[in-house]
Amino acid sequence: MIKQKQGKLFFVGYSGDYPDPTKEGYESYTAGKGWTAGYQDNCSIVSEESNLLLHDCATAGGASGGPIVDWIDNWPYIIALNNGEVKNRRTGQDIINFAVKMDFLDKLSW
């Protein structure tokens, strides 16, 4: 089991809501939402269930397959691939995100 990694991970993905050029500081991002990779550091694995890692990295539709990276012995390693998020149907607010562990994917390869 991967121990909790509080604030130690980073995530890169093409979330469909990023960047928003109408927000201050993002005016120069003119390619459109979902066309520029977003980066978040200081995110965490909060739990593990079966072969899924529950994480708090900021994601949205389109970010599936984005890597969650940990620094191990001063080298970056992809430890999981973002798979999706659970949202509150009424409010649309994120509840939790989940990712597939890389060691599980390694077992599937020949």
Q: What is the pLDDT of residues 48-60, one digit of tens each?
A: 888 788 998 888 7
Q: Which residue has the higher pLDDT, 110 or 79?
A: 79
Q: Does residue 26 fall inside a structural domain?
A: yes
Query: Taking Cα atoms as reference points, which of 39, 78, 40, 84 lies closest to residue 60?
Result: 84
Q: Which two tokens stand for residue 72?
A: 């191990």
Q: What is the pTM of this model?
A: 0.77
Q: Which two tokens stand for residue 106?
A: 């390694």
CATH of the domain at 36: 2.40.10.10
Q: Does residue 100 fall inside a structural domain?
A: yes
Type of residue at 14:
Y
SS3 for 58?
Answer: coil
Q: Does residue 32 fall inside a structural domain?
A: yes
Residues 2, 78 contacting (CB under 8 angstroms): no
Pick from 6-10, 28-32, 42-46, 53-57: least confident: 6-10
Domain extent, residue 42, equals 9-108
Q: How many domains does the chain divide into?
A: 1
Q: Does residue 48 fall inside a structural domain?
A: yes
